[in-house]
Every structure is written in structure tokens, then in C-alpha cells.
Amino acid sequence: MRVVIQRVSHASVTIEGVCKSAIKEGFMILVGIEEADTQEDADWLCKKIIGLRVFDDENGVMNKSILEVDGNILVISQFTLHASTKKGNRPSYIRAAKHDVAIPLYNYFCRELSLGLGKEVGTGEFGADMKVELLNNGPVTICMDTKNKE
């Protein structure tokens, strides 16, 4: 699984002109799932995300977690995170999981994040044409890949 985590002042996702989810301060997370990903990958990511200390403390130092600032999370499925651009100019998405693998794991990831956060996370709609708006705060953007745990 790959994620792009952006610390935001606010974020929202709109589908066919209707706002599906909106959050204030917190994380907007793009998540890409590949065929080999498992619940263990999702569990590792959830633990890391909930524990990330990237919110400012009283001294302006990134030292607080999302729990400590009572932040929110918006999760958007993003198969293009697994784009391969090795050959030519048209990306290949062959590594991205098919719906029968990706949807249950995406739903599991969102449920586990909600449990860790102690409140519901906002979501998009898997496979929909989504319009995502956000105000990146910092900017702070962190990428993680469960196949390359750095």
C-alpha cells in the first residue's frame, strides 16, 4: 500500500457536484492498493499515521500527533499512486489492485483509521470521478509505502 499524507487546514471531496466529505484540520490521505497488499499492510500504515508527530506544539515545533490536536482524516482511493512510467509516456496501472481486492482493503483501512482516531474518517467513493480540494498546511506532505518501510 502506498499513501500520500498531507497535513491540511481543510479538505473536501465532491462527486457529481455534491460534497461527499469535508474535514477541518487534519490529514488528507491518498491511498493506493496493489494486489499483494494485506490487512497487515493497512494495520502498519494506520499505526504510523495515527502516531505521526507533524502538528505544531506550543513552541511551533512539529511534535504533536493527530490525536493530540483532535484532528480529522479524509481518505481518498488513488490507484494512480501505483503508476509505472518506466516505458513510454502513458503510465501503466498494472500493479494497482482490481476492485475485488482493493475495495475490501480500502474499507478495512478506513475502519481501522476510524478506530485509531476515535471518530469517523471522511471518504470519497471508490472508482468515482472525484474533485478533491485541500489547503495543505506547511506544506507538510509525507509518502509511505508498506513495501519500502523507511
Active-site residue identified among 38, 39, 80, 141 = 80
pLDDT at 150 over 80: no
Q: Tell me if residue 78 is catalytic.
A: yes
Select from 132, 130, 133 the least CA-distant residue to 15.
Answer: 130
What is the rounded average pLDDT of the residues 87-115?
A: 93
CA distance linking residue 1 with residue 64, whole number of Å: 25
The answer to whether the bond into 139 is cis (omega within 30° of 0) is yes
Please report the pLDDT score of residue 149 as a whole number.
Answer: 83
Please report the pLDDT score of residue 91 as a whole number.
Answer: 87
Q: Where are the domains of the chain?
A: 2-145
Active-site residue identified among 78, 109, 123, 146 = 78
Q: Tell me if residue 27 is catalytic.
A: no
Q: Tell me if residue 80 is catalytic.
A: yes
- Tens of pLDDT, residues 4-46: 999 999 999 999 999 999 999 999 999 999 999 999 999 999 9
* 2-145 classified as CATH 3.50.80.10: yes
- Tens of pLDDT, residues 55-100: 999 999 999 999 999 999 999 999 989 888 888 888 888 888 999 9
What is the rounded average pLDDT of the residues 109-131?
A: 96
C-alpha cell at 94: 498494472
Q: What is the pTM of this model?
A: 0.94
Query: 126 near 103, Cβ under 8 Å?
Result: yes
Active-site residue identified among 79, 109, 123, 146 = 79
